[in-house]
Copies of this chain bind each other. A is one copy, B any other.
Amino acid sequence: MSAQPVADPTTDATVATESTVSTVSTVDRTVGVTAPLGFRAAGVAAGIKASGAADLALVVNDGPSDTAAGVFTENKVKAAPVLWSQQVLRQRRLRAVVLNSGGANACTGPEGFQDAHATAEKVAEALGVGAIDVAVCSTGLIGERLPMAAVLSGVDGAVAALGGDAGAGLAAATAIMTTDTRPKQAALRHPSGWTVGGMGKGSGMMAPSLATMLVVLTTDAVVEPETADAALRAATRVTFDRLDIDGSMSTNDTVLLLASGASGVVAAPDELAAALTSVSADLAGQMRADAEGGTKEITITVTGAASDADALTVARWVARDSLVKTALFGSDPNWGRIAAAAGAAPAELDPDTLDVTINGVLLCRGGAKAAERAEADLSGREVDVHIELGIGGGSATVLTSDLSHGYVEENSAYSS
């Protein structure tokens, strides 16, 4: 698994065109949810956002299968569309997902739940399926009702605009953007003959669980519901769940997987999980690169922990520490703050066996200075922090960004 950008489509020979993807197992960012067979998508401007930008997306699974799985926020305050989608996903089947930006429909009471239901009902009616076959995702400001007239007429527009080509997938990926500066898509064609595609949004509030991250993954593999569920959980656990920008956890986080079976090829469970992980890791990397105000792409790797869980705890503690994040924004390899953040984590740690390496330079060995800070070069955008605890064999990696003036600016001026 790698969250690094692969194959810049403008320069790489394996670039895909239209609805095809490259025939090697390389993640392709020029296509998304419509890369696998059996899917159509659309993105339209429904008038939910005051700006008039695209704000409503639809992804339809034309089958023959309608297997689906989902992973949702663990926040106890869940948005109405999350409550709705969790409910309909109990049957592990979906024919469509409708997504809107411009409003989270969270903390909106029973009326908000009615709005989510009405949106699903409207989609179902247009597609000739049941409301129980339609998941709903929303993102935007918490605490305000959605402008339902705009949402419902937007559904009509989206159904009319549905298409199976790459342009339709891109339109959907664009319509779910909030503070994102770029649409986020990825796809991977497996040598066995099936494909995984996906789109996501999230450039802030991405956190311990999956905060305001909306992701729709699609595949044309033939998959049993139990396999789909297990593969999706395995993929999110090491990708979206390891992306921790500001430690906040949204009320709306949702990652959905829809499987059409249109390739006619049964995917081996471990191969499906691996492909979902590759696409998810790529989307997570795109989200980190587009983090609100971020100027650094930071990878925190902890090794030598008493357990993988301990390693993850230490990595998260360091990733969320405001003093570490501001130091890295200032390109200061301040390993002392990293050591202090690690030592504050509720995990086993011995200061005498603690090593900290930043961008390849061992700055702290055995809990004390090993080299001058100036030897680590942080002038670039990528920062690799490696913390060796010297206790056991546990390891984990977390992706984050820095805490910049831009972060403060966006989040103090923008109500989301």
Given contacts A340-B248, A412-B332, are A368 and B108 in contact (CB under 8 A)?
A: yes
Which residues of the partner chain B approach A205 to less than 8 Å between Cβ atoms?
323
Residue of chain B at shortest CB distance from A248: B323
Q: Report A173 CB to chain B, min CB distance, Å.
A: 24
Contact of A77 among B142, B247, B339, B407 (CB under 8 A): B339
Given contacts A107-B339, A344-B248, are A327 and B412 in contact (CB under 8 A)?
A: yes
Judge if A122 is at the interface, Cβ distance under 8 Å: no
Contact of A408 among B75, B250, B320, B403 (CB under 8 A): B403
CB pair A343–B248 under 8 Å, yes or no, is no
User: Number of contacting residues on A, CB 8 A?
Assistant: 64
Judge if A84 is at the interface, Cβ distance under 8 Å: no
Given contacts A107-B369, A336-B107, A342-B77, are A323 and B246 in contact (CB under 8 A)?
A: yes
Given contacts A337-B142, A404-B408, A411-B323, are A107 and B368 in contact (CB under 8 A)?
A: yes
Interface residues of A in 196-211 (CB under 8 A from B): 204-205, 207-208
Which residues of the partner chain B approach A343 to less than 8 Å between Cβ atoms?
75-78, 249, 251
Q: A55-85: contact bitstring with B at CB < 8 Å (1 yes, 0 no)?
A: 0000000000000000000111110000000
Cα distance, A409 to B337, chains bound together (Å): 16
CB pair B364–A77 under 8 Å, yes or no, is no
Interface residues of A in 123-140 (CB under 8 A from B): none
Contact of A248 among B107, B341, B366, B412 (CB under 8 A): B341
CB pair A249–B336 under 8 Å, yes or no, is no
Q: A326-354: contact bitstring with B at CB < 8 Å (1 yes, 0 no)?
A: 11011010111101111110000111001
Given contacts A142-B339, A323-B248, are A413 and B104 in contact (CB under 8 A)?
A: no
CB pair B411–A322 under 8 Å, yes or no, is yes
Judge if A180 is at the interface, Cβ distance under 8 Å: no
Most B-side CB within 10 Å, residue of A77, A250, A373: A77
Cα distance, A74 to B335, chains bound together (Å): 19
CB pair A408–B405 under 8 Å, yes or no, is yes
Judge if A392 is at the interface, Cβ distance under 8 Å: no
Which residues of the partner chain B approach A327 to less than 8 Å between Cβ atoms?
411-412, 415
Q: Report A398 CB to chain B, min CB distance, Å.
A: 16
Judge if A157 is at the interface, Cβ distance under 8 Å: no
Contact of A367 among B74, B77, B334 (CB under 8 A): B77
Residue of chain B at shortest CB distance from A212: B340
Q: Report A391 CB to chain B, min CB distance, Å.
A: 12
Enumerate 7 A-B pairs (CB-CB under 8 Å) in ascending A order: A78-B351, A109-B367, A142-B334, A142-B336, A251-B339, A405-B405, A405-B409
Measuring CB to CB, which residues of chain A are less than 8 angstroms from any residue of chain B?
Answer: 74-78, 104, 106-109, 112, 141-144, 204-205, 207-208, 246-251, 320-323, 326-327, 329-330, 332, 334-337, 339-344, 349-351, 354, 364, 366-369, 373, 403-405, 407-409, 411-413, 415
The 3 closest A-B pairs by CB, nearest first: A142-B336, A77-B343, A330-B412
